[in-house]
Amino acid sequence: MSAPSGASVDVPVLVGAAQFSERLGEEAYEALSPVDLAARALGLALDDTGADAAVRSRIDVVACTRQFDESFPGMPAPLGRSDNFPRSVAGRVGLDPERVVYEVSGGQSPQSLVTELCAEIAAGVTTVGVIAGSEAISTVLDLARREDKPDLGETVEGSDGDRGAGLEGITTRYQAGHGLVDAPTQYALFEHARRSRLGLTRAELAEEMGALFAPFSAKAAQHPHAAVREARTAEEIVTVTEANRMIVDPYPKAVVSRDKVNQAAALVLTSERVAAELGIGREKWVYLRGHSDLRDRELMRRTDLSVATPAVTAVGAALEMAGIGLADVATYDLYSCFPVAVSIVADGLGLAHDDPRGLTVTGGLPFFGGPGNSYSLNAIAETVDLCRATPGSFGLVGANGGTLSKYSVGVYSTEPGGWETGHDDRLQAELDAVPDHPVAHEADGWATIETWTVQYVGGEPSRAVVVGLLDDGRRFLANDLEGGADGGELIDLLLGENAHGARVFVRSVPQGNRVAVSDERMAELLPTRPVGFRESYEHVLLDRRGHVLEITINRPHVRNALTPDASLEMEEVLDAYLADRDLWVAIITGAPGQDGRGAFCAGNDLLHTAAGGALWMPRTGFGGLTSRRGVDKPIIAALNGHAFGGGFELALACHLVVAEEQAQVALTEVKVGLVAAMGGLVRLPRVVPPHLANELILTGRRMGVAEAQRWGLVNRVVPTGSALAAARELADELMESSPTSVRISLQVMEEARAHADPVDALEAPSDALDKLLVSRDTSEGVTAFAFKQKPRWRNL
């Protein structure tokens, strides 16, 4: 909203803008680092104000877009990086600001920062602020291949203003587990959803993408800072060749954002009053006349994957604030990481794809270049120049982050206007009020395809990613069967013309959901695993002793840590144990190491994960037990050594615990940046007092088993080397009781956990006692007691 009449508001203005770039092999190439590139652009932006020295003396905040290699977990920095990027950039140009900002990731961040600094200037919080951003990915990759590669790492003192990566809502474990982590794959889903809504054939979609991006390519060819300065025809852009290989269906390389660039841009912002004081000419002043920042929910929960309602709403709000309509805009720059990022917004606005004004001022991310999170900073700098060149005109920049998740819009003009804060809170609340689309994480049964893509490796189809709808309306993610086990039938369907709405069959497996073209094909390719014991296993050893099953985790080389495959074997074994009427008790222990010292289980095999091993878990959880329901036979944990992380969680999921005196237990996940998500966060606070649970969970402290016994975490502590023998003795004691009574008792106790009030638990409907009344073991026990005989249990 506008400031009240008579209120003192410093109207913000942009007074400096610049871009800088370099390309490998050119005569002027200097192989600048990301910091040096951003500093070079910032120096030019300060010079652009025409009052460089005076402006420098008043700068109180330096804000920077986030470097790409710090935007996602595990991203490499082959030559190192600054540990304080904003202060590194500031130091290069002789600045020591009171405050710096290192913005969250996402292509929305340049425009979002402009809006934020304008608001601070209007409120008198900031006097002069600068924004800089860069990427030198092309240079870094080139230098990293050299023997004499430089070290670009640097340490800078002072606050870093780091706001974190800001990836919340961008991806989820569910999406990552189905290969939905990279931008091309996610945007391809939107592309096919839009194609299906419009009823386009593949040829028509390709023609549209080429026609949309050909003017972008032509614009980039004329731009001095563009990465690709050769205009390409519509046909060249979408024709798949060896050089223009397919990345994901339907995107060949030419329509995908180009990140291997060396580009930078910078802006200088202040108020009208300060600009006049500093002697900055009015011909330099450009106003942010309209703005809006809106967000969408995570991909799977969106109502319609073929539209971008928050982005379209944000554009409309920014135009309304500026007091203009689409027809009044002289220049547009709609974020263009992929074709759908442009077309889906233009569709919603009713803006023709071939609008004579063009939809980019730079040439767009595939042709001008996409310097990580910083692209729209170049677009804003370009828009500022165009506004100055045509005083009174308006330019619009639409900056997109994530997967059409974060959209930030700015409307610029030299035409003066007062500052407005806008109505984003109200608009966001209205968007958030729309119910989520229901999601099924584990999908089983017949379904229809909603949208899809196919990932390519080396130019060949590799993996299908399907978003489908179960017959109850829930949305799910799924892949084809690994290694093309279905003969490529599903991929053939997806690469044809009739994928949308096609009937398919989905099944959930430990690694995620899998799709086949029919239930018969699914049954053929993924036959239901028979319940029973195999002759041998890779990761466990079994020993059947009468009614007792001994399960030994046999991975002593990694202290019996479990991989996902090992947990899957444990699941199979426990399934068979629970189904076998002649097995009444199970004991889980760990194989001793070569030194004779044992470890019950050291948790997840992090070496396997660090080496790139798949990270998934059986539906029944770690060790096939921690997420298992309805365990109605006793399981004893025999701790013949330490139980750390998932190993302790596995022990907590057992009914009884016997531990050797030298053993220790601990939830060590926090020590390696993880959490005890396999039951430790839930089970431990239910056993020990809250403050003790907090200590163990939050510090990862190792607890000796004597202390663990005092808190009820361990039933018996025994001498070193005797855990298994002690567990066998405990199993013998259990077998003196009716196995039917034991099963019924476990069932009732599990059902009772759903009720806080004991009487509610007692009165809750259950068939447990009905089973007991008709049990042969019940009649056997009562009769044996009456005749003072030892009962002969039958487990019937």
Encoding tokens for residue 717?
């502590």
To 5 degrees, how large is the angle CA 567–CA 569–CA 573? Answer: 115
**Cα–Cα distance for residue pair 111/291, rounded to 1 Å:** 9
Task: Tell me phi and psi for residue 354, to 5 degrees.
Answer: -105, 30
Pair 401, 391: CB distance under 8 Å: no
Taking the CA atoms of 575, 578, 580 and 582 in sequence, report the sign of the dihedral they define: positive
Encoding tokens for residue 142?
């080139």
Residue 224 makes CB contacts below 8 A (sequence gap 6+) with: 21
SS (H, E, C) 37-91: HHHHHHHHHHHHCCCHHHHHCCEEEEEECCCHHHCCCCCCCCCCCECCHHHHHHH
Query: What DSSP character marks residue 420?
Result: B
Residue type, 84: N
Residue type, 794: R
The DSSP bridge partners found for residue 134 are 264
Confirm whether 695 is a catalytic residue. Answer: no
**Cα–Cα distance for residue pair 791/531, rounded to 1 Å:** 30
**Cα–Cα distance for residue pair 397/411, rounded to 1 Å:** 7
**Cα–Cα distance for residue pair 54/47, rounded to 1 Å:** 11
Confirm whether 242 is a catalytic residue. Answer: no
User: One of 550, 649, 660, 780 is an active-site residue; which one?
Assistant: 649
Strands 460-470 and 445-457: antiparallel
Task: Tell me phi and psi for residue 269, to 5 degrees.
Answer: -130, 145
The torsion angle over the Cα atoms of residues 383, 385, 389 and 392, rounded to 10 degrees, is: 50
Alpha carbon of 29 to those of 32, 68, 140, 757: distances in Å? 8, 22, 13, 74
List, edge to edge, every strand of the sheet that includes 656-660. Answer: 540-545, 548-553, 585-590, 635-639, 656-660, 716-718
331, containing H or E segment: strand 331-334
Q: How many CB atoms lie within 10 A of CB 766?
A: 15
Q: Which residue has the tokens 């035409």?
A: 415
Q: Which residue has the tokens 């980039």?
A: 220
User: One of 669, 729, 736, 763 is an active-site residue; which one?
Assistant: 669
* 3-state SS assignment for residue 8: coil
**Cα–Cα distance for residue pair 495/456, rounded to 1 Å:** 12
* 3-state SS assignment for residue 444: coil
The DSSP bridge partners found for residue 396 are 332, 411
**Cα–Cα distance for residue pair 293/422, rounded to 1 Å:** 10
For the annotated catalytic residues, the residue numbers are: 649, 669
